[in-house]
Amino acid sequence: MPDLRELYQEVILDHSKKPRNYRKLEPADRHAEGNNPLCGDRLTLYVRLDGDRIADVGFEGQGCAISKASASLMTDAMKGKTLREVEGLFDAFHGLVTGAPGGDRKALGKLAVFAGVSEFPARVKCAILPWHTLKAALEEKDTVTME
């Protein structure tokens, strides 16, 4: 068994204690709510668009350190990205945390700290929840539930 403490690296702890972009955007062009009932993570994600680019993104909610840190680092990474770049980052992050090959890992930058999550199947949904919620918001769906 890998050591769970190794998962909670400094970057993850910092972002879970002081989440960046933790605010409701008003007005927002898109928003969606994400739930991960297995852990109790819930968040609402707000997106402001500028053409096909993400102009701003914020979130509110409650959850474990992994889900909060993932939302914090993801929202930081998404500002100014085109919808196409968002798709690419989603695929790369999904591969990173599920241990699947593929995607441009280098594009993930700081998000690479979540690589350790792939060793902890119960934590994968926590890490990926904000990403699925962003995708739902962009696809104009109201809610997404991790099952």
Shortest separation between residue 17's beta carbon and Zn ion, angstroms = 15
Tell me, what DSSP letter sits at residue 107?
G
35 vs 67, beta carbon nearer Zn ion: 67
Shortest separation between residue 106's beta carbon and Zn ion, angstroms = 27
Phi, psi of 61, deg, nearest 5: 150, -170
32 vs 71, beta carbon nearer Zn ion: 71
117 vs 126, beta carbon nearer Zn ion: 126
Inter-axis angle of helices 121-138 and 83-98, nearest 10: 170
Shortest separation between residue 49's beta carbon and Zn ion, angstroms = 28
For 138, other C-beta atoms within 10 Å of its C-beta total 19
- The residue ranges that bind Zn ion (CB under 5 A) are 39, 41, 64, 67, 126
Contacts of 96 (CB under 8 A, 6+ apart): 103, 105, 108, 111, 112, 114, 115, 117, 118
CB-side exposure of 94: number of CA atoms within 13 Å? 12
Phi, psi of 24, deg, nearest 5: -80, 135
Shortest separation between residue 129's beta carbon and Zn ion, angstroms = 7
16 vs 67, beta carbon nearer Zn ion: 67
Shortest separation between residue 69's beta carbon and Zn ion, angstroms = 10
48 vs 123, beta carbon nearer Zn ion: 123
